[in-house]
Homo-oligomer: A and B are copies of this chain.
Amino acid sequence: MAKTPRKKASKKGLILLKAATLFRQRGFVATSMRDLAEVVGIEAASLYNHIRSKNEILEAICFDIANLFNEHLDQLESTKASSIEKIEQVLRFHIRHMVENYEQVIVTDREWRHLDEPFLSNFHTQRRAYRKRLAFFIEEGIQKKEIRPIDAPTAVLILLHAISGIESWHRSKKKISARELEENMLTILIDGLRKNV
């Protein structure tokens, strides 16, 4: 409750936040540590009192986001919802984070390839596993006749990428509300999956 609790941690937090913004705008490789230092308000060399390397910043962003989504999926799997309800919950979670933390989500999505080993392999593995779990929801739904018979990995790929389009929504001038965005996306995507009875 003090006014400056763990000053160092909050400065590191600021660096990660500003880095996410720059990495989204210019890309990880095209953002220099001098660019980052400038928006943080210190000299480039001083950044290294808070972080070990440029790549460590990317690691922090990517794995924070990966953990967030993995934990949500863990919770959801222990639930009794129907397959299509589970898919809906996953989509709503993704959409909300693309609306609220879109800088981090987009950076993770677009720049994770620049991770160094062993983080690159680790991330890649987690990503494939996450998609497989989603594909399993869809296969389950197809068996239960909730979802039309389609290729499950293709459906996953459509769903996840469709959501990344929210980046354009952020930049559009006359935005619909976040609530409307979510309902519109759900309408199109869920009804595209649902088996008409």
Interface presence of A133 (CB below 8 A):
no
Q: Select A161's contact among B27, B165, B181, beta carbons within 8 Å.
A: B165
In the complex, which residue of chain B has the Cβ closest to the Cβ of A26? B113
Contact of A29 among B30, B157, B181, B187 (CB under 8 A): B30
Once the chains bind, are B160 and A165 in contact (CB under 8 Å)? yes
Contact B27 A187 (CB under 8 A): no
Q: For residue A128, give the distance in angstroms from its CB to the closest CB of chain B.
A: 9
| Residue of B with least CB distance to A153 | B172
User: How many interface residues does A have (CB within 8 Å)?
Assistant: 39
Closest CB in chain B relative to A65 CB, distance in Å: 18
Minimal Cβ-Cβ distance residue in B for A166: B157
Q: Is there a chain B Cβ closer than 8 Å to A39's Cβ?
A: no
A residues apposed to B, CB below 8 Å: 26-27, 29-30, 110, 113-114, 148, 150-151, 153-155, 157-166, 168-169, 172, 176, 180-181, 184-185, 187-193, 196
A-B CB proximity, top 7 nearest = A192-B192, A161-B165, A157-B165, A188-B192, A29-B29, A162-B162, A158-B162
